[in-house]
Amino acid sequence: MLLLGLTGSIATGKSTVSDILSSPPYNLPVVDADKVARQVVEPGTSGYKQIVSHFRPSTPDLLAPATPETGGEQGRNGKGRPLNRPALGRAVFGAGKEKERKVLNSIVHPAVRREMYKQMLYAYLRGNWAVVLDVPLLFESGWEPLCGTIMVVAVKDAKVQMQRLRARDQHLTEEDAENRVAAQWDVRDKAERCMRRGEKAGVVVWNDGGKEELREEVDRVMGVVRQNHPQWWAWALLLCPPLAAMSGTWSYVRSWWIKREWEREKQLEKAKL
């Protein structure tokens, strides 16, 4: 089964592409890291308890206000009020907040990873030829070598990204939005890194145009992916687990090598400046 990593930067169009991939004619299962990241911090979970214990002293509005909708003082299930996500966002995005963001990531990411592995295994056992891993921080958090193919959804014009982000998340101020964009790698760097993997292992969906153009671009890119990963290969991997293990190991080593070379080049470029 192909692990198709879907990434980009904030508001470049990952969820829109993931909706296309999960509908006909593709009908691919999608494991959505943002969705899982919400589940693992619901009231009562260990993630929730750790976040409350670390962030509450510095963020007094960390929990949603006690209203009938949020279930009063103790929340709907009696395990606490849900997190006030915009407030937590302000505590971790912005200049000088990298340390706090790292703390949040170290609480949330391991739980996300565990749940995602479970969902991937389920998709494999159901005989899917591919599963989409929708992971916004795929490169930043080291998921890259795991994916047979990476699809980056990118825009060439940074203004398009900012406009879409502001239009979608109207609760964010201009500064909030800029802080969130700055918390991730530049999407054009992600596109470059992805193309470095070669067409078999890395494809870029450019999304500067309208939604109709995006659909056509996804169809074009999926034609390339499908050609490189035919159905018979998916069946061979399912019926022969040692072959799946060998193929996975080869893909991992190759991706790891490309990642290392790319990082070296970037370091050399930096040193030259």
Ligand X SMILES: Nc1ncnc2c1ncn2[C@@H]1O[C@H](COP(=O)(O)OP(=O)(O)OP(=O)(O)O)[C@@H](O)[C@H]1O
Ligand Y SMILES: CC(C)(COP(=O)(O)OP(=O)(O)OC[C@H]1O[C@@H](n2cnc3c(N)ncnc32)[C@H](O)[C@@H]1O)[C@@H](O)C(=O)NCCC(=O)NCCS
CA 218/CA 64 separation, integer angstroms: 38
- Choose from ligand Y, ligand X, none: what does 15 bind? Cβ within 5-8 Å by kind: ligand X
**CA dihedral over 51, 55, 57, 59, signed as positive or negative:** negative
E strand intervals along 20-122: 30-32
From 43, 71, 75, 89, residue interacting with ligand Y (rule: CB under 6 A): 89
Q: Among 67-75, 82-90, 199-207, 260-268, which window interacts with ligand Y (CB under 6 A)?
A: 82-90
C-beta separation of 136 from 14 below 8 A? yes
Antiparallel, parallel or unpaired: β 149-154 and 30-32? unpaired
Strands of 2-8's sheet in order across: 30-32, 130-134, 2-8, 149-154, 202-206
3-state SS assignment for residue 15: helix
108 binds ligand Y (CB under 6 A): yes
- Cβ distance to ligand Y smaller for residue 64 or 204: 64
137 binds ligand Y (CB under 6 A): yes
- Choose from ligand Y, ligand X, none: what does 3 bind? Cβ within 5-8 Å by kind: none
CA distances for 36 relative to 47, 82, 113, angstroms? 12, 15, 9
155 binds ligand Y (CB under 6 A): no
In DSSP terms, which residues pair with 267 in a beta bridge?
Answer: none
- Cβ distance to ligand Y smaller for residue 171 or 272: 171
- Choose from ligand X, ligand Y, none: what does 102 bind? Cβ within 5-8 Å by kind: none
- Cβ distance to ligand X smaller for residue 164 or 196: 164
- Choose from ligand Y, ligand X, none: what does 104 bind? Cβ within 5-8 Å by kind: ligand Y
Q: Among 101-109, 153-161, 187-195, 249-257, which window interacts with ligand Y (CB under 6 A)?
A: 101-109
Q: Where on the chain is the footprint of ligand Y (CB under 6 A)? A: 10, 33-34, 37, 85-86, 88-89, 92, 101, 104-105, 108, 112, 136-137, 180, 183-184
